[in-house]
Copies of this chain bind each other. A is one copy, B any other.
């Protein structure tokens, strides 16, 4: 038998190895794996689009996992104590759909598979969270799955620490590809998983030596397992088509005191007579000849999209494997003293009276009128919220003292110790954001995490996925403008807010003072349909509000200061620039120009308000915006804009506001110009 362990596989070598495997006696479990293979071939062929090679290569691995190890019950895919399974190599989506179909999951009938990659099909091109309850997350962008799984595994440990092993005791399994391991995000997440000792996390790596460009040796020659050992992981290497080897490695993983990665040496497109072991089987239909040849090689005689009854029955049995375990768990849950609290947290419902402390804080802000950075106001808000909302878990990408994300008396988790509610993520923004997604997806945790606003760029792909998956994750992004001062243009987010506002279903909050900060925290926590960003100032901001009765940020924008009499102009501002609008309003009034000031903490929410409310806020007078960022997107709301035209600079903050002309006098001048009363500096600044 030709070795499939050679570092680089020529197609011929792969075909020889394949022939040797196919010459072995066919077991029932091999046949079960073949079910996955033929469904993948058939569905991709019918769709004329998709990735057959990975499901064909990983069918044996998946079969061993789903028939012998994974704890799940097809009758209740949302069972809270199920094992989590993440298909990080999301392009191999037919592997997952095939498994869900075969194990008898409702909603993944054969008709659905026949509509693979068609509009409104639950069997979308890549697994999409929400399309089917057994899809744990949306995958496809490489590196996200494995990193999100780290967050799921963290959530499991933290909830087990809170609710006990009788309610929370499950594993997290990942199938990943070479590409997942090349992506930087997976490095961040794997390093953290090793650091924390997430022993219930197992990664099954599809070590197929093939990437889209060809042999992985073109670009990938590192010793992956040695690298994972360096992270503190247990490692194994197995023949990914040898069920006994696979079972032994998975069993060892369940006993390991460390997270485990198992390199499963596989042949991509296994069984295809010519394309097996080549990039040709990766991302396109195999074609009729190859499919005929593959089925013949497998000894498969059934029609397309047909699974012989005996095999289907055996698979459905596998889908019921843990049904008894689930029933026992339900009994334990029913009697558990923390049942109500567990169910509440897992359902994502906030505790009763969760807002009491925050409301008290708002009342304090109204009387105290603190002049503090909104990052400090955020910390005070957290001090009111975190004790009241036990599922809130905070953290920072090594900027705790700058992001002010910690709360006194709330301990951090650490290696082997999950009895805490704070995470020192390290300088790993992207891994943090993905793991936060995993915590939210797992359920039972509302994650918030901090870094500088500029580094939203580092975590953007994970944040986009949170928006796509409708997950409540909250990013506390401080140092939100040139107001951070001396650190200079690398740290000054001039276009970052605009770029975040562009992401669908992401709420970007930029509060103007302590009161609005508390209000925005309330809104972010209430927002169950997607992620939120709190863009917060480093510098102190004066209190602009004295009324605490109503959450005025709740409609996205509101008239903070109406004009005396009819409006001549409306000044619209966010965050640290609202104070400038208030000052400009006073100056304009002295000159006989009546200006209203609109505070605009959240565009996304305001855009969803009814037209009457929006009209009442925006008014009919000319409008001018001010924000210490670029004007991109402001044209939607205003006729003119005062802000940045490019990158920032290194200097003390107050010098920078002067230098870039983001001041109350500049706003006065621009407003007058807009009204035809000044030198011609009118119009959008770009």
Contacts and interface: CB of A to CB of B under 8 A. Distances in A.
Contact of A50 (B220, B223, B486, B647): B486
A139 interface: yes
Contact of A504 (B179, B184, B647): B647
A501 interface: yes
Given A220-B195, A490-B141, A502 B499 contact: yes
Nearest to A460: B457
A128 B489 contact: yes
B119 A656 contact: yes
A3 to B, nearest CB: 22
Interface string A632-675: 11011000000001110111100110010000000000000000
A195 B428 CA distance: 24
Given A141-B455, A227-B231, A646 B221 contact: no
Interface stretch (A74-82, A158-166, A249-257, A399-407): A399-407
A233 to B, nearest CB: 10
A212 B398 contact: yes
Interface string A88-117: 001000000000000000000000000001
Interface in A256-281: none
A511 to B, nearest CB: 22
Contacts of A412: 218
Nearest to A684: B636
A505 interface: yes
A140 interface: yes
A465 interface: yes
Contact of A490 (B468, B485, B502): B468
Given A502-B630, A646-B505, A490 B139 contact: yes
A229 interface: yes
B138 A179 contact: no
A426 to B, nearest CB: 3
Interface stretch (A28-36, A186-194, A343-351, A520-528): A186-194
Interface residues of A, number: 111
A278 to B, nearest CB: 13
Nearest to A492: B125
Nearest to A191: B222
Contact of A141 (B140, B180, B454): B454
Nearest to A645: B504
B213 A401 contact: yes
B125 A650 contact: yes
A427 B178 contact: yes
Given A212-B402, A636-B684, A182 B178 contact: no
A431 B117 contact: no
A211 interface: yes
Interface in A221-257: 221-224, 226-227, 229-232
Nearest to A188: B184
Q: Which of A425, A464, A505: most chain B CB closer than 10 A?
A: A464
A650 B140 CA distance: 12
B414 A218 contact: yes
A185 interface: yes
B47 A486 contact: yes
A55 to B, nearest CB: 16
Contacts of A659: 119
A495 B499 CA distance: 8
A321 interface: no
A54 to B, nearest CB: 14
A14 B191 CA distance: 26
B139 A426 contact: no
A401 B124 contact: no
B230 A222 contact: yes
A683 to B, nearest CB: 10
Contacts of A223: 229-230
A458 B188 CA distance: 14
Contacts of A399: 212-213
A487 interface: yes
Contacts of A219: 192, 195, 398, 424-426, 428
A49 B486 contact: yes
Given A119-B656, A121-B650, A226-B229, A184 B490 contact: no
Contacts of A50: 486
A56 B360 CA distance: 46
A70 interface: no
A357 interface: no
A491 interface: yes
A461 B221 CA distance: 26
A430 B430 CA distance: 12
B651 A119 contact: yes
A293 interface: no
Contacts of A220: 191, 195, 426
B230 A226 contact: yes
A424 B218 contact: yes
Contacts of A468: 489-490, 647
Nearest to A227: B230
Contact of A213 (B218, B396, B415, B457): B396
Contacts of A540: none
A502 B491 contact: no
11 contacts: A120-B651, A128-B489, A141-B458, A187-B188, A191-B222, A222-B232, A457-B464, A495-B504, A502-B502, A504-B630, A607-B686
Q: Please name the 4 residue pairs, one residue from A and one from B, whose CB atoms are nearest each other, closest first.
A: A184-B184, A219-B426, A187-B187, A140-B490
